[in-house]
Amino acid sequence: MLVKSMNEIKAMRTLKTTEDAIKLKRDQQTLESLKEYEVGELIDGDVVMAWLESWGTVDEKEPPIK
């Protein structure tokens, strides 16, 4: 059926708006990450892995910071 109820139309618009907001937020986070990469604000992957592997041990490490 091509004719949709007003509630269905409103729900579709809300879904579209939510999807757009999620995409915008993801794009913003990506741009922020790229800027951090460009200026060298990175945490070495080995440091992160060592921190994660320490979780739940008696020698648990503090989270790495930039």
Query: Is residue 64 in a domain?
Result: no
Query: Is residue 1 in a domain?
Result: no
Which pair of structure tokens corresponds to residue 27?
């794009």
Contact 28, 15 (CB under 8 A): no
Considering its fold, how many domains does the chain have in total? 1
Query: Is residue 17 in a domain?
Result: yes
Query: Is residue 47 in a domain?
Result: yes
- What is the structure's pLDDT at 52? 97
- What is the structure's pLDDT at 1? 53
| Residue 35 vs residues 9, 28, 45: alpha-carbon distances, Å | 39, 11, 18
pLDDT(38) > 60: yes
pLDDT band of 51, cuts 50, 70, 90? very high
Query: Is residue 60 in a domain?
Result: no
Query: Is residue 39 in a domain?
Result: yes
pLDDT(63) > 70: yes
pLDDT(53) > 80: yes
Q: Give the percent of the chain with pLDDT over 70.
A: 92
Residue ranges making up the domain that contains 29:
6-54
